[in-house]
Amino acid sequence: MAHENAIEVRSVTRNFGNLVAVDNLSFNVGRGEIFGLLGPNGAGKTTAINLILGLLKAHQGDIRVLGFDINSQTRQVYHQIGYVPQETNLYQDLSAIDNLWHHAALYCKDLRVVKDRMEELLDFTNLWQRRKDPVKTFSGGMKRRLALARALLHDPEVIFFDEPTLGVDVQGRFALWEHIQQQREEGKTFVISTNNMVEADTLCDRLTILDHGQAIALDTPENLKADMQYDVVSIHTSPPIDDPEVLLSKYTVQNITRPQPDGLRFEMQSANTNTAELIKTISNNHQLDSILVARPSLDDVFLFHTGRALRE
């Protein structure tokens, strides 16, 4: 019987010396789900993926992939997972098709069907015409698509994709997202690690935000945004508002910033219900040129949970 969850992470901790890279991390990834690992640099995303892949040993906790223990049943797991690392580790001097043949020799159980599968995947990732060209002549997006095709070649159940569109242009990004969504529709499970909130919002069914090795939020993107108690308000006035803290003092606002000289951006509790009154307050002494009240984006959720301080 197929295991219900593709991945189960239970109270996993991993240290590097005194640094706790992953701290008591727990989550499940359902079959056929696209699950996102979000977090600032150094939050523990890559460490978490390496632990799930069995490349690192957890100091505490258990990890099961497709019902198999990653430490004691490694080979069963490796038959059923694909991995696209952040640094696209293709043989640059070999052709796309030679890279796939190499992968097939190492991973594919049934080598009789590999040729058809290869053609199908090269076609799917729009690389068929370039299959005989050396990978070093490919663009960043093409390399990522080839890496995805390679990870899918042995028809794995679960695919780990570290920063899927890092360094990829807009067209390449949309193409990759489309490929991932198509594969999910065919029942594949994806775990993606990303810093790109649009990507996470577009792709992920659920996601967890990691910070300092801990999962500080875990839900669907919609629920995470809905849980935010603030709306985002952007206004433009003439003359510019000199002292916004005083003007807005009767409202519950935070994070007031000035993106343009005549513009203000702030987070406001129940902005939708207070919009009319807010317009009136501002219009008393200023001409209100524009006002935009928006629900928080995933960026706002991310900043709310992880703060605005720069990470090294």
| Contact residues for another protein, defined by CB under 8 A | 50, 53-57, 71, 75, 78-79, 81, 83, 85, 87, 89-94, 98, 101-107, 111, 134
CB neighbourhood size of 168 (10 A): 21
> Cβ 87 to another protein, closest distance in Å?
5
Give burial (CB, 10 Å; 0-12/13-18/19+) of 39.
buried
Least separation in angstroms between residue 159's CB and another protein is 12
**25: how many CB neighbours lie within 10 A of its CB?**
27
What radius of gyration do the chain's Cα atoms show?
23
In this complex, which beta carbon is closest to another protein, that of residue 101 or of residue 302?
101
- Shorter beta-carbon distance to another protein: residue 56 or 256: 56
Cβ distance to another protein smaller for residue 146 or 217: 146
Tokens found for residue 22: 């992953």
Q: Which residues pair with 291 in a beta bridge?
A: 235
Q: How far is the CB of 60 from another protein (least distance, A)?
A: 13
Tell me which residue of 61, 5, 65 sits closest to 30, measured CA to CA. 5
Closest distance of CB 311 from another protein, Å: 23
C-alpha–C-alpha distance, residues 9 and 37, integer Å: 13
**DSSP conformational letter for 239:** S
Strand partners, 34: 190
For residues 91 and 251, which CB has a smaller minimum distance to another protein in the complex? 91
**Minimum distance, C-beta of residue 53 to another protein, in the bound complex (Å):** 6
Q: Which is nearer to another protein, 109 or 258 (CB)?
A: 109
Of 52 and 217, the one with the shorter C-beta distance to another protein is: 52
CB 98 to another protein: min, Å: 5
Sign, CA dihedral 128-131-136-137, equals: negative
Cα angle at 186 between 112 and 62, to 5 degrees?
Answer: 90
